[in-house]
Structure 1
């Protein structure tokens, strides 16, 4: 579980660093939240 969370967090950071707009940041945060939620359900 910790490994999954670390991987998801690292992916979220990479996505956020690639963003150039506020709208893009919002979309990235939403996707990261969905991934974390699905990982938590498992």
Structure 2
């Protein structure tokens, strides 16, 4: 299919990930996000 198709798929995938991340952040309460970050710090 070619490099043009591959690059367009990559751009669409990156944009899709950014939109999904924004939607999750917008839908999650601030306390939940803070709790998740606190749990992630415990893993290190």
User: What TM-score results when the alignment is normalised by the length of structure 2?
Assistant: 0.49
- Partners of 1:27 and 1:21 in 2: CA distance: 10
Bigger radius of gyration: 2
Gaps of 5+ in 1: 1-19
Bigger relative contact order (CA 8 A; separation at least 6): 1
CA RMSD of aligned residues (A): 0.5
Count of aligned residue pairs for this structure pair? 23
Q: Does 1:39 align with 2:20?
A: yes
Q: Aligned match of 1:28 in 9, 20, 24?
A: 9
User: What TM-score results when the alignment is normalised by the length of structure 1?
Assistant: 0.51
